[in-house]
Chains A and B, each alone.
Chain A
Amino acid sequence: MILIQIIKKYFLFFLILFFFTIISSKTFASNKDLIDENILDNQIKFAAKRLITKRDTKKWINELNNDLYYVKQKIIINKDYLKLIKIFPSDKNIKSFDINKDLKKYKNELYGYHESINALEKLYQIFNLEENFDIYLVEYDLNIEKSGDQKFLWLSLCTPNFKYDKQVKELRRNLLQVFYFLDNTYYPSHENLINYGKNIGLSESKIHRFVCKEFIDKKLKSI
C-alpha cells in the first residue's frame, strides 16, 4: 500500500526517470555503434563483389559433393590403415593414435561439408522461390593494427532483399565456409573471420552487419 502511495505521489518523477533511462541507453548504444563504425571505417576497405547466381549454387553443390567424396574416401582409407597396421605390425608403422587423430579431423571436415551443402541447397530453394532474389559475396580488405600493414580478406554475404535477411543470416556461416572449401588458399575460414573480429575487438556478426550496410547503402547504390 505504501509503495502504491509513493508511486502515485511521485508518478511524474518516475515517468521522467523512466524516459531518461530509455533515452540515455539508446544514446549510449548509438554512440557505441558510432564508435564501432568509426573503427571499421578506418580498418576495412571494399575490395570486390560477386553476384551469386542460381547456376553458381548448383555448380558449387556439385563441386562440394565431389570434394565430399574425397573426404569420405580419406575416412575409409584411414579406417583401412587401422586394419592394416594390425595385420602387418611394425614399429615403424604409423601409430593408431595419429590415424585416429586424422580420422577425427576428417569426420569434422565431413560434417562441415554436409552443412555447407545443406546451406547451398537452401539458398537454391530461395532462388527457386524468389526470382528477384539477389545475394552478393563481398570482399573487404581488413587492416588489423596488431599485424602491421598486413591485410586480411573479410568475406560477407549481403542481400538487398531485406525479406530474406534473416534466412541469409542463418545460412551465412555455412555459406561462407563453402568458399573456404572451394579455395582455401584464397578465402578465409569461418574460424579465421571470428579471429579477425576478435583482433579488432568486434563481434563477427557486427562486422557482417556493418559491411552489408555499407555495401548496400553505398557501394551497390552507387553502381
Chain B
Amino acid sequence: MTLLILYILLSILLSRLIIKSTIFNIASIALISYWAAYPLESLSISNRYQTIIGIKERGIYLYAIFGISFLLGVFLITKLNPKKISFFSSLNSKNNLFFVSIFLSFLGLICFSYTYNFNIFEYIQITLGLDADGFSKISRAERLALLSTAKNALPYSIFFIPSITTLLISIKKFGLRNFKDIFLSFIIFLLNLPILFSYLIEGDRSALIKFVVVVFFTLTLTNNSVYEKNKNLYLIENYKVNKKVLINRIKIIFILISLFCILVFIGLGRSNGWRDTSRIFINLSQQYETKMLPTPEFRSVNFTLDYALARDYLSNQKTKKMFTWDKLIFYPLPTYVYKDIFKEKKPPNIGDAIGLEAKNYIAGPNIETKWGFGLSPIAEGWINFKYLGIFITGLIYGLSIGLLQYFYNRISLYRINLLDIFVLNTLGIVPLIMRSGTAGIYNWIFSCSFVMLIPVLIITIFQRKKSHRKIKV
C-alpha cells in the first residue's frame, strides 16, 4: 500500500511537468487500478488451483519496480524533448483524408465479411453463442478461440480504427459543408457500421475502449496544438483551489466511474449471446458475496503475474517456443505468412502460452477449451529477463507513453500529418496497456500504421503522375 501511495504521489508530481498529461494520466490510472486490485483478490480455478499469498507479496514489489521504471521513462521524455518529425504532410487535405478513410473502411468491411464467410447469418449465429449448425451453444471464450484459430479470420479492427480517425479529422478540420462531404461521410460510416455493431453485440470491451479513446482524442484536437496554447491549469495554484479545474476533475471522475460501471455490466451480461442479462445483478451479488471485484478483468490479468512467478517451480510441461522478445519483431506476421517463411507453426504469444500451460496444468490437456488471460506486462517482463525484464518493460512503456503524450500535445489540426494519425490510432491502446503485453501493443501499432501506408502509397503514386503530367503540359 505504501508503495502504491508513493507511486500515486510521484505520478501526480510528474503529471505537473507535462503541459497536458491526459494520456499519461490514463495510463497511470490503468496501472494504479491493476496494482490496487492485485492484493485484493486471487484467482481460484475450479477449486483446483489457488494462488499462494507469498507469491502475491513478492508480486507487489514487482509492481513497484514496474511503476518506478514507468515513471522514469515518462520523466526522461519530459527532459529529452525529442524533435517532432513531419511525415507525409500532403495527407492534410480533405480529398486525401476522405480517400484514406473510405479505402480503409472498405478493406475493413471486406476483412470482416471474409472472417464470417460473407454470411451474415453465420455471424449472427456465432455471435449469439451458437455453433455453425445453429444448435449447440458455445461459450464466449470458445467463440473467440474459434475465431482466433479460424483460417479465414482477418483483423478488421486495424482498418476500422484508422478509418474512423481519418474521417473524424476530416470532419473536424474541414466540416461537412456540402452534399458530397455529407454523402461520403455517411458512406464511410455505413461501411464501418457492421464492425461497430459487432463490437456492441459481442460486448467486446477492448475494441469499444479503443474506439471511444480514439474518438475522444481526435475530437479534442484543435487548430492550435496543446503545446502552442501552452496553457497550464492546476487544481491547486498558489495554495488556492482552482474551481474550474475542480469541477472538471469531478466531471472526469464521474465519467470514469460511469464508464467503469458500463464496462462491468457489459462483462456480466454479454455471456451466452446476451441471453443472461437478467442475471447481471445476481452475478454482481455473487461476486460481492465471494469478496471479488465486480469484474474478473483484474484477477485474470494479475493471475498471469502470479503464474509467471510460480512457473519455474511448477511440475508442468512448459511451452518451448513463444513470442519472447528475441522473436517479437515477427509477431505481426499473419499465421500463414509466418508458416511459409519459417516452415513452422507460428508460436503463441506469452499470454496464450500462459493460458495453454495453466489449462493443461489445472484442467488437463484433453479438455478442448481455450483459456485466455490478458497478459500483464510485468508477467511478460519476468518471463523474459526476471527483474531486469520488468524494469526494461516499465521503462519502454514509460518512454512510449511519454512520447505519445509529447507528440499528441504537438498535434494541430492545421498541420496534421501521417505521423499524427499514427499517434492518434495508437492512443486507443493506452487504457489497455496493463493487459496487452508488449507483443499485443507492438502488433496494434505496427498493423494500424502499416495498413495506412497502402492508401498513402496510392495517393503518392497518383500525385506523382499528376505532377508529371503538369510538367509535360
For A83, the chain B residues whose CB sits under 8 A away are: 313
Contact A80–B313 (Cβ < 8 Å):
yes
CB distance from A195 to the nearest CB of B (A): 26
With both beta carbons as reference points, the residue of chain B lying nearest to A90 in the complex is identified as B54
Nearest-neighbor residue (CB-CB) of A87 within chain B: B313
Interface centre among B54, B316, B361, B364 (most CB of A within 10 A): B54
Closest chain A residue to B314, Cβ basis? A80
Give chain A residues whose Cβ lies under 8 Å from the Cβ of B361: 73, 77
- For residue B315, CB closer than 8 A to chain A, the reply is yes
Judge whether A218 is part of the interface by a CB distance below 8 angstroms: no
Whether the Cβ atoms of B364 and A84 lie closer than 8 Å is no
**Chain B residue nearest to A70 in the complex (CB):** B364
How far, in Å, is B366 (CB) from chain A's closest CB?
Answer: 7
B53 at the interface (CB under 8 A from A): yes
Contact of A73 among B48, B52, B58, B309 (CB under 8 A): B48
17 cross-chain CB contacts under 8 A: A66-B366, A69-B364, A69-B366, A70-B48, A73-B48, A76-B316, A77-B361, A77-B362, A79-B315, A80-B310, A80-B314, A83-B313, A88-B57, A88-B309, A90-B57, A92-B53, A94-B50
Contacts of B364 in A (CB 8 A): 66, 69-70, 73
> Inside 8 A of A70's CB, which chain B residues have their CB?
48, 364
Contact B313 A84 (CB under 8 A): yes
- Partner of A85 from the list B52, B315, B366 (CB cut-off 8 Å) is B52
Q: CB distance A84 to B52 under 8 Å?
A: yes
- Fill in one digit per residue for B35-64: 1 if any A CB lies within 8 Å of its CB, else 0: 000000000000011101111011000000
Q: With a CB–CB cut-off of 8 A, which chain B residues contact A84?
A: 52, 54-55, 310, 313
Across-interface contacts of B55 in A (CB, < 8 A): 84, 88
**What mask results when residues 83 to 127 of chain A are scored 1 for a CB within 8 Å of chain B, else 0?**
111011110111000000000000000000000000000000000
A-side binding surface: helix, strand, loop or mixed?
A: helix
Q: Which B448-472 residues sit within 8 Å CB-CB of chain A?
A: none
Q: Does A180 contact B (CB under 8 A)?
A: no
**Shortest Cβ distance from residue B300 to the other chain A in the assembled complex, whole angstroms:** 19
Are A90 and B53 within 8 A (Cβ)? yes
Closest to B50 in A: A94
> Closest CB of chain B to A74's CB: distance in Å?
6
Identify which of A69, A77, A88 contacts B49 (C-beta below 8 A).
Answer: A77
Q: How far is the CB of B44 from chain A (nearest CB, A)?
A: 12
Given contacts A69-B364, A77-B361, A84-B310, contact A94 B52 (CB under 8 A): yes
The chain B residues found within 8 Å of chain A, CB to CB, are 48-50, 52-55, 57-58, 309-310, 313-316, 361-362, 364, 366
Q: Which chain A residues border B57 with CB–CB below 8 Å?
A: 88, 90, 92
Query: How far apart are B309's CB and chain A's nearest CB, in angstroms?
Result: 7
Size category of the A interface is 20 to 34
A88:B315 contact, CB within 8 angstroms = no
Output the nearest chain A residue to B49 by Cβ-Cβ distance: A77
The reply to whether the CB of A133 lies closer than 8 angstroms to some CB of chain B is no
CB of A81 within 8 Å of the partner chain: yes
Please, how many angstroms separate the alpha-carbon atoms of A79 and B361 in the complex?
A: 13
A73-B362, A73-B364 are known contacts. Are A89 and B48 too (CB-CB below 8 A)?
Answer: no
Residues of chain A within 8 A of B315, CB atoms compared: 76, 79-80
The CA of A37 and the CA of B430, in the complex, are separated in Å by 78
Closest approach, in angstroms, between the C-beta of B364 and any C-beta of chain A? 6
Q: 8 closest pairs, A vs B, by CB? A: A88-B54, A90-B54, A92-B53, A84-B52, A88-B55, A93-B54, A90-B53, A83-B313
Asked if B54 and A85 make an inter-chain contact with CB atoms under 8 angstroms apart, the answer reads yes
Known A76-B315, A77-B361; contact A88-B48, beta-carbon cutoff 8 A: no
Closest B residue to A83 by CB, please name it: B313
Give the residues in chain B near A89, CB-CB below 8 Å: 54
List of B residues within 8 angstroms of A79 by Cβ: 315
| B310: A residues at CB distance < 8 A | 80, 84, 88
A81 touches B48 (CB 8 A): no
Contact (Cβ within 8 A) A77 B48: yes
| CB-contacts of A141-188 with B (<8 A) | none
Closest chain-B Cβ to A62's Cβ sits at a distance in Å of: 11
Tell me the bound Cα distance from A84 to B50 in angstroms: 12
Q: Given the known A-B contacts A77-B361, A88-B57, A88-B309, are A93 and B52 also in contact in the complex, defined by CB atoms under 8 Å?
A: yes
Q: Is the CB of B53 within 8 A of A93?
A: yes
- In chain A, residues 57-84, which have Cβ atoms closer than 8 Å to a Cβ of chain B? 66, 69-70, 73-74, 76-77, 79-81, 83-84
Q: Tell me which residues across on chain A come within 8 A of B49, comparing CB atoms.
A: 77
B465 to chain A: closest CB distance in Å? Answer: 66
In the complex the two chains form, what is the Cα distance from A186 to B364 in whole Å?
A: 26
Which residues of A lie under 8 Å from residue B54 when comparing CB positions? 84-85, 87-90, 92-93
Residue of A nearest to B309 (CB): A88
- By a CB distance below 8 angstroms, the chain A residues around B53 are 90, 92-93
When chains A and B are docked, how far (Å) is the Cα of A1 from the Cα of B180? 138
Which chain B residue lies CB-closest to A88? B54
Among the listed A66, A85, A88, A94, which residue makes an inter-chain contact with B58, where contact means beta carbons less than 8 Å apart? Answer: A88
When distances are taken between beta carbons in the complex, the residues of chain A under 8 Å from B362 are: 73, 77
Residue of A nearest to B364 (CB): A69
Q: In the complex, which residues of chain B have a beta carbon less than 8 angstroms from the beta carbon of A87? A: 54, 313
Shortest beta-carbon distance from B261 to chain A in Å: 31
